[in-house]
């Protein structure tokens, strides 16, 4: 019997409504499960870092009395085990973070926190089974997230072991293309000739068009300096490495365990080997970050979107409290790749600076610099910034403003390094208008700082009037002497041409 038309329409309407409600419920259920997974992963990683609900000075700060390690872990595994090998939308940085946390969590249990496995299981058979499952998670997720790691190493574990056993434990890494060649040459000579720094140096570049063969020969002719083409280390995906994105890849590709990355135009007032050997922050955390200028008002919406369970430490940063548009200055970065946490965080930084990831990331951040602490925070790997904020190194103008490149003090508040080379504005003219280095200023508060923007013939200037938190210091005779030598060397390179400089001043025939 054929049903009346009205009844048939009602049945169809009910069917569509039911289907719609099911889809709505399913999508909400998936969203809920993903949010829960973010929370569970963050809690378990904080637990692996040694935190408890009453730990003082917590980095992560997600734990409370209700935390149950075994229950939390099994909920995580049940959620991720069937999906770790699947592909995902690489423009979804939030999903990238989830998968990277899964990789680190499983890796840590396998290789760093084996005793925790005993807490999560009751019998030896369960332990063996769990380790098998953890191996699968690490292998499959590594293949999806970091396929380029196997270009040089068998696995992440193999990479970590190679760094732990590195012949050269400490080393400096620069990146340079043709445009930065003279800056980088000056920076290397400043380390060798002025500061007597003997650490081995690598200069990384991206492919044959980045540095000419003659330029690589020039770098390689310097004492204990070698060039590295990062394209040789990251397979097919490495061919997309260029510009700012090269920095984390260079740190990862270097042969050193403890790496001090320095921008091509970065210069020091002290021997930088102290950062790798005596820095309290680097010794404790296996990484060392520096803060950018306090400038503008930040919007942390994107960071909160890709990392909804951010750490307690992140919540204290200027970027998160809308005190500054930028948080990190990546002109100097130190990383200990022998430690599992920093190594995984560095790989995530590389992933964020891959393509297509960086095509999205760079819409929200200025190049690579924020991606460092973003990655560390997403993975709950403890980190800490140097205690002061970006200032200026240069001269005192008529308004008592300190004008020059971005500047930083060390952990004892002594002048340490500055960026931008020795010229007033490298983007306008690379070989005229040199800075007279007499004064430095740094920001000890991280808020309410005024800057005068750079022009064609003046660098950035930090306002000091009525700014008691902007500390101004005249450089010592020795520090002024170092800077004067940097200026003179760069002028000689520029005026003679670098080829003639190698021949006449360095006595090197290329």
Name beta bridge partners: 260.
Answer: 172, 334
What mean pLDDT comes out for the span 348-352? 98
pLDDT surpasses 70 at 4: no
Q: Which of 5-19, 366-380, 435-449, 475-489 has the lowest mean pLDDT?
A: 5-19
Instruction: Scan for tokens 């930028």, then name that residue.
Output: 326
Residues 84 and 144: beta-carbon distance below 8 Å = yes
Residues 373 and 318: beta-carbon distance below 8 Å = no
212 — phi, psi (to 5°)?
-75, 165
pLDDT surpasses 50 at 3: yes
- The mean of the pLDDT values for the chain is 93
Across the chain, which distance is largest between two alpha carbons, in Å? 104
| E strands, 323-480, in order | 328-336, 389-396, 402-409, 415-418, 439-443, 451-452, 461-462, 470-474
pLDDT surpasses 70 at 171: yes
Q: What is the pLDDT of residue 33?
A: 81
Instruction: Note the pLDDT tens digit of each residue in 179-232.
Output: 999 999 999 999 999 999 999 999 999 999 999 999 999 999 999 999 999 999
Name beta bridge partners: 452.
Answer: 461
Burial of 339 from C-beta contacts in 10 A (0-12 / 13-18 / 19+): buried
- The pair of structure tokens assigned to 285 is 């955390």
What mean pLDDT comes out for the span 481-488? 98
CA dihedral 239, 267, 369, 179 (to 10 degrees): -40
Residues 94 and 85: beta-carbon distance below 8 Å = no
Instruction: Note the pLDDT tens digit of each residue in 23-81.
Output: 444 455 667 788 899 999 999 999 999 999 877 779 999 999 999 999 999 999 989 88
**Ranges of each domain in the chain:** 28-50+68-145, 162-378, 389-504
In this structure, the number of other CB atoms found within 10 A of the CB of residue 5 comes to: 8
Q: What is the pLDDT of residue 30?
A: 66
Q: Which CATH class name applies to 162-378? A: alpha beta
* Beta pairing, strands 389-396 & 328-336: unpaired
pLDDT surpasses 60 at 12: no
Tell me the three state secondary structure of residue 351.
helix
Q: What is the pLDDT of residue 29?
A: 66
Residues 199 and 271: beta-carbon distance below 8 Å = no
pLDDT surpasses 90 at 341: yes
Please tell me whether the overall predicted TM-score, pTM, comes out greater than 0.85 for this model.
Answer: yes
Q: Which helix (H) or strand (E) holds 261?
A: strand 258-262
Instruction: Scan for tokens 């400089």, then name that residue.
Output: 501
CA 212 to chain centre: 28
306 vs 78, residue with greater confidence: 306
Residues 177 and 476: beta-carbon distance below 8 Å = no
pLDDT surpasses 60 at 16: no
pLDDT above 90 covers a percentage of the chain that reads 82
Residue 165, sorted as left (phi over 0), alpha (psi -120 to 50) or beta, turns out to be alpha
Kindly give the residue spans of alpha helices, DSSP state H, lying in 413-497.
Answer: 477-496
CA dihedral 105, 110, 111, 113 (to 10 degrees): 70
pLDDT surpasses 70 at 11: no
CA dihedral 79, 84, 89, 93 (to 10 degrees): 70
Spell out the residues 6+ positions from residue 429 whose beta carbon is closer than 8 angstroms to its own.
423
CA distance 26 to 35: 14
Residues 191 and 172: beta-carbon distance below 8 Å = yes
Tell me the three state secondary structure of residue 474.
strand
Instruction: Note the pLDDT tens digit of each residue in 307-334.
Output: 999 999 999 999 999 999 999 999 999 9
Instruction: Scan for tokens 């508040």, then name that residue.
Output: 413
Spell out the residues 6+ positions from residue 151 whose beta carbon is closer than 8 angstroms to its own.
233, 234, 235, 238
């Amino acid at each position: 019997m054929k049903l009346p038309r009205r009844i048939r329409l009602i049945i169809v309407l009910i069917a569509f409504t039911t289907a719609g409600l099911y889809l709505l419920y399913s999508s909400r259920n998936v969203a809920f499960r993903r949010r829960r997974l973010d929370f569970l992963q963050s809690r378990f990683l904080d637990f692996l870092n040694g935190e408890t609900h009453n730990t003082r000075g917590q980095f992560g700060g997600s734990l409370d009395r209700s935390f149950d390690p075994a229950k939390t872990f099994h909920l995580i595994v049940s959620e991720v085990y069937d999906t770790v090998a699947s592909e995902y939308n690489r423009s979804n940085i939030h999903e990238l973070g989830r998968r990277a946390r899964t990789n680190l969590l499983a890796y840590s249990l396998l290789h760093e926190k084996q005793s925790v496995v005993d807490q999560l299981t009751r019998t030896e058979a369960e332990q063996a089974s769990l380790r098998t499952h953890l191996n699968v998670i690490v292998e499959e997720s590594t293949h999806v997230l970091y396929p380029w790691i196997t270009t040089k190493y068998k696995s992440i574990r193999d990479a970590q072991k190679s760094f732990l056993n590195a012949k050269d434990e400490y080393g400096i890494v620069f990146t340079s293309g043709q445009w930065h060649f003279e800056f980088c040459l000056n920076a290397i000579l400043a380390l060798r000739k002025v500061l007597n720094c003997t650490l081995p140096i690598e200069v990384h570049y991206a492919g044959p068009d980045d540095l000419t063969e003659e330029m690589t020969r020039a770098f390689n002719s310097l004492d204990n300096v070698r060039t590295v083409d990062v394209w040789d280390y990251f397979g097919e995906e490495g061919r997309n490495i260029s510009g700012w994105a090269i920095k984390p890849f260079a740190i990862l590709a270097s042969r050193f365990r403890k790496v001090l990355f320095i921008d091509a135009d970065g210069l020091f007032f002290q021997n930088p080997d102290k950062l790798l050997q005596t820095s309290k922050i680097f010794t404790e955390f296996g990484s060392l970050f520096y803060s950018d200028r306090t400038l503008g008002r930040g919007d942390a919406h994107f960071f909160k979107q890709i990392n909804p369970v951010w750490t307690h430490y992140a919540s204290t940063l200027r970027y998160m409290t809308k005190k500054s548009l930028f948080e990190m200055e990546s002109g100097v970065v130190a990383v200990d790749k022998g430690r599992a946490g920093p190594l995984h965080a560095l790989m995530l930084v590389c992933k964020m600076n891959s393509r297509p990831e960086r095509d999205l990331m760079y819409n929200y951040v200025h190049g690579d610099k924020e991606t460092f602490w973003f990655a560390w925070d997403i993975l709950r790997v403890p980190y800490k910034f140097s205690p002061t904020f970006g200032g200026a190194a240069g001269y005192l103008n008529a308004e008592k403003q300190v004008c020059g490149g971005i500047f930083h003090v060390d952990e004892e508040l002594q002048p340490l390094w500055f960026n931008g080379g020795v010229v007033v504005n490298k983007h306008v003219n690379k070989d005229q208008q040199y800075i007279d280095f007499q004064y430095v200023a740094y920001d000890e508060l991280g808020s309410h700082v005024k800057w005068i923007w750079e022009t064609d013939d003046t660098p950035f200037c930090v306002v000091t009037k009525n700014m008691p938190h902007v500390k101004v210091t005249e450089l010592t005779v020795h520090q002024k002497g170092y800077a004067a030598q940097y200026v003179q060397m760069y002028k000689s390179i520029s005026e003679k041409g670098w080829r003639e400089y190698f021949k006449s001043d360095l006595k090197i025939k290329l």
